């Protein structure tokens, strides 16, 4: 269970207590009033008003509880509002690093496989991320969704080591995928004391993301004459990987077309996607 889900349960439990204790108080008042006061129209009216006030109080708590949920309905991590509150209330902010994770192809996944499958990818991504954090000693690190495929995590650790650990995590996600779907993830790091307001830190992350998308574009520093060596090595090491994505005929409920997605596993450049391979071939 995610740390955010535990906190959500605690919040629901507190709401339940807020309902139960006034209920017991109302019963006590009823019993006490019937023993002490005379049973007349004034007493009955006051007790009736008390019941209406209590019922209104219950509905308010239930409505407010659903409206102020702490977790995102899809991924079950903290909502934007809650994660901002957590970051703003951190003690010793200079010891924390904000890790920003961006799934760059989530829109493509939604378009190709449907929004429901896109949501499953996000949910499974968070499950694997939570296991990764726990495995590396960051259990109960708060994860927050700040929109789309963007997540933020405040972690009390050195940026250098975090960068190394998350590089391993991203490589694993890129190599294995999620639910047989290729998932591309980018990471950015920022000290939590960059700004007093967490919202400004998030805005800075988006600026960093924008600059990265315009300047990197999956740039590969591979010389054209090295491509033959890459292919030969991939053949010898059985480094070719083939995945497919089906196109289903809704009327017949059958697979109509299979699109093959070739990849090459390399020693020096990791996994090369179809687009990267084509880019290399064009330069060869």
d(CA 284, CA 140): 49
Q: What is the pLDDT of residues 84-136, one digit of tens each?
A: 999 999 989 999 999 999 998 898 888 888 888 899 999 999 999 999 999 99
The values of phi and psi at residue 55, to 5°, are -60, -45
Instruction: Give CA–CA dist 130/71, Å, rounded.
Output: 15
Tell whether the model's pLDDT for residue 279 goes beyond 80. no
What pLDDT digit, counting tens, does each position of 188-212 carry?
Answer: 999 999 888 899 999 888 888 877 7
Residue 145 has pLDDT above 80, yes or no: yes
Helix (H, G, I), strand (E, B) or coil at 92: coil
Tell me what pLDDT residue 65 has.
Answer: 67
Distance (Å, rounded) from C-alpha 30 to C-alpha 8?
Answer: 34
pLDDT value of residue 83? 94
Using a cut of 0.85, tell me whether the model's pTM lies above it: no
CB atoms within 10 A of CB 174: 16
Measured on CA atoms in the order 179, 180, 184, 187, is the torsion positive or negative? Answer: positive
> DSSP assignment, residue 190?
E
Distances (CA, A) of 201 to 8, 89, 147, 158, 191: 25, 14, 14, 18, 9
Q: What angle do CA 97, 101, 103 make, to 5 degrees?
A: 175
């Amino acid at each position: 269970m995610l740390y955010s889900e535990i906190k959500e349960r605690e919040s629901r439990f507190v709401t339940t207590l807020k309902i139960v204790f006034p209920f017991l108080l109302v019963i006590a008042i009823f019993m006490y009033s019937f023993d002490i006061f005379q049973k007349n129209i004034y007493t009955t009216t006051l007790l009736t008003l008390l019941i209406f006030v209590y019922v209104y109080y219950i509905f308010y708590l239930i409505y407010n509880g659903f409206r102020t949920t702490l977790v995102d309905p899809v991924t079950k991590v903290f909502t934007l509002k809650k994660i901002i509150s957590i970051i703003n209330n951190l003690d010793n902010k200079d010891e924390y690093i904000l890790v920003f994770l961006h799934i760059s192809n989530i829109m493509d996944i939604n378009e190709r496989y449907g929004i429901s499958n896109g949501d499953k990818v996000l949910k499974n991504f968070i499950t694997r991320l939570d296991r990764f954090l726990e495995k590396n000693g960051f259990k109960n690190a708060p994860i927050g969704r700040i929109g789309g495929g963007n997540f933020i995590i405040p972690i009390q650790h050195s940026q250098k080591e975090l960068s190394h650990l998350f590089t391993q995590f991203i490589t694993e996600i890129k190599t294995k995928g999620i639910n047989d779907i290729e998932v591309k993830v980018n990471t950015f790091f920022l000290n939590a004391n960059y700004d007093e307001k967490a919202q400004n830190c998030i805005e800075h992350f988006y600026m960093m993301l924008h600059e990265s998308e315009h300047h990197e574009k999956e740039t590969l520093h591979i010389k054209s004459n090295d491509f033959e060596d890459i292919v030969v090595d991939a053949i010898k090491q059985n480094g070719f990987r083939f995945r497919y994505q089906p196109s289903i005929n809704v009327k017949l409920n059958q697979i109509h077309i299979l699109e093959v997605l070739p990849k090459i596993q390399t020693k020096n450049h990791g996994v090369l996607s179809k687009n990267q391979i084509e880019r290399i071939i064009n330069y060869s």
